[in-house]
Amino acid sequence: MKAFNSTLAGFGTTVFEVMSRLAMQHKTINLGQGFPDEEGPAPMLQALDDATRQFPNQYPPMMGVPELRQAVAAHDGRFYDLEADWQTEVMVCSGATEALAASILALVEPGDDVVLFEPLYDSYLPMVKRAGGNPRLVRLEPPDWRIPWDELEAAFSDKTKCILFNTPMNPTGKVFSHDELTTLGDLLEKFDCYAICDEVYEHLVFDGRDHIPLITLPGMRERCIRIASAGKTFSMTGWKVGYITAAPALLSIIARAHQFLVFTTPPNLQRAVAYGLDQEQEWYTQLGRDLQAKRDLLEKGLRSIGFDVLPCHSTYFMNVDFRPLGFNEGDVEFCRYLTVEAGVTVVPVSALYASDDIDHLVRFCFCKRDEVLNAAIECLSTHFAERTA
Ligand code: PMP
Ligand code: GLN
């Protein structure tokens, strides 16, 4: 029989699913895939119930229900002074994943170059390649995940259509600074490119840092697609409600892709998220502070065991180098070993690189109850104390 699509056949199942299945199989503490173990605001669950009963459960408008598009525009104005017209500049998607896919399909033509930073979120590369784009990968340098500016500039050319840019960044926990954004913006202008900006962790920022959307910088309003997600803002990762803010011309071409991908997103979920954005601001601004405390707890525990912990200023994730513990195999082997022998599951960071020449880092997820984080630290301490005894 004829072969299936070769790009997709080449990628396999995502690392998050693979590690969660392994965690279930071995009944471990799962600090791999990024999802909180506490629910979001209870009034949003009530709002969801109410919306399910009081409004039609039929196709909502393709661009999203007006309540949510208005709430997104108001949110962007409140937090970033970003004025957006909800009718022409805001669209609801089925999670940031769909927003990213629709944006890539809307911009990328076969043969276009797309610039991406490594390490990178797992859906970026397959979707860029499936759209026919040529990925131009630029590696950020640990431990601070610095941008190598010369390399970045060399990655741009007349063939570059866009950059796919994630701040705050998964898996690095980096929040890009105003200076970095300004220099990046200069490159976009110089090479006449767009930016697909994945900002799903916008409210999960620590240490007094500020998330700055690239779209708010001078000259960037017509070039940037800002993508955010209720999954992260409200700890409801299963809801899969995302939203895009972009200039009318950009949004209308993204809407063409969206209409053929999913057409729309469940209306009751949209209404509950609209309620949350308007009414639960206190909750989602507190979430960053709560997560910062969890980061501190896990970091202290992992350091005391002997891991080399890399800086983390945002998201759900912390990266560690396990070599100081005397483990000399790669990160995939280390993750399997931790699952089977220590009862804790994490993610190999090499899965978030295109090549496998970086294999000494693993990613821990800390959006879990303190007792779960403490139990994981306890399992690891006991295991490594015995191993080195
Ligand atoms: N982008 C990044 C950087 C992510 O970590 C995730 C995972 N939640 C997504 C996009 C996908 O978000 P959603 O669940 O809203 O599709
Ligand atoms: N964003 C989550 C992570 O990085 C996982 C999302 C998913 O499983 N698709 O772990």
Which CATH number does the domain housing residue 314 bear? 3.90.1150.10
How far apart are the CA of 272 and the centre of ligand 2, in A? 22
Protein residue whose Cα sits closest to atom 8 of ligand 2: 16
Residues 35 and 79 in one domain: no
DSSP string, 214-265: GGGSTT-TTTEEEEEEHHHHTT-TTT--EEEE--HHHHHHHHHHHHHHTS--
Of 280, 296, 330, the residue that ends a domain is 280
Q: What are the pocket residues of ligand 1 if the criterion is a CB atom closer than 6 Å to any ligand atom?
A: 34, 95-97, 121, 166, 170, 198, 200, 229, 231, 237, 240, 242
Question: Does a structural domain hold residue 224?
Answer: yes
Q: Is 33 in the pocket of ligand 2 (CB under 6 A)?
A: yes
Same-domain status, 362 and 351: yes
Which residues are within 8 A (CB) of 331 and not within 5 positions of it... i.e. 6 or more apart? Answer: 322, 348, 349, 350, 359, 360, 361, 362
Answer yes or no: is the C-beta of 142 below 6 A from any ligand 2 atom.
Answer: no
Is the domain of 31 the same as that of 84? no
129 and 19 share a domain?
Answer: no
pLDDT given for residue 388 in this prediction: 72
Which pLDDT score, from 0 to 100, does residue 349 have? 96
Ligand 1 nearest atom to the CA of residue 166, by list position: 3
N-term to C-term CA, the chain: 56
**C-alpha angle 181/187/192, rounded to 5°?**
120
Residues 261, 377 within the same domain:
no
Closest atom of ligand 1 to 241 CA is 15
Residue 373 lies in a domain: yes
Q: What is the pLDDT of residue 144?
A: 92
Q: Closest ligand 1 atom to the C-alpha of 170?
A: 3
Question: Domains in the chain: how many in total?
Answer: 2
The rounded Å distance from CA 304 to ligand 1 centre is 31
User: In this structure, are residues 141 and 372 in contact, taking their beta carbons and an 8 Å threshold?
Assistant: no
User: Cα–Cα distances in Å, from 350 out to 122, 123, 269, 360?
Assistant: 11, 14, 35, 8
Ligand 1: which of 91, 100, 169, 232 to mutate, judged by most atoms within 8 Å of the beta carbon? 232
Residue 146 forms part of a structural domain: yes
In whole angstroms, give the CA distance from residue 355 to residue 357: 6
Instruction: State which residues form the domain around 238.
Output: 42-280
Whether residue 290 sits in one domain with residue 346 = yes
Bridge partners, residue 347, by sequence: 363
* pLDDT average per 10 residues of sequence, the chain (389 residues): 93 89 95 96 98 98 98 98 98 98 98 98 96 98 95 98 98 98 98 98 97 98 98 98 98 98 98 98 97 98 97 98 94 94 96 90 98 98 85
Answer yes or no: pTM beyond 0.85: yes
Closest ligand 1 atom number to CA of residue 99: 16
Looking at the structure, tell me whether residues 193 and 327 fall in a common domain.
no
Instruction: Identify whether residues 242 and 309 lie together within a single domain.
Output: no
Question: Across-strand partners of 90?
Answer: 245
> Which pLDDT score, from 0 to 100, does residue 305 have?
96
Residue 64 tokens, joined: 């999203």
Residue identifier of the C-alpha nearest atom 5 of ligand 1: 170
Stated as kind and residue range, the H or E segment containing 283 is helix 281-305
Same domain, 343 and 287: yes
Contact 62, 259 (CB under 8 A): yes
**Which two tokens mark 88?**
């022409």
**Amino acid 102: pLDDT:** 98
One domain for residues 105 and 240: yes
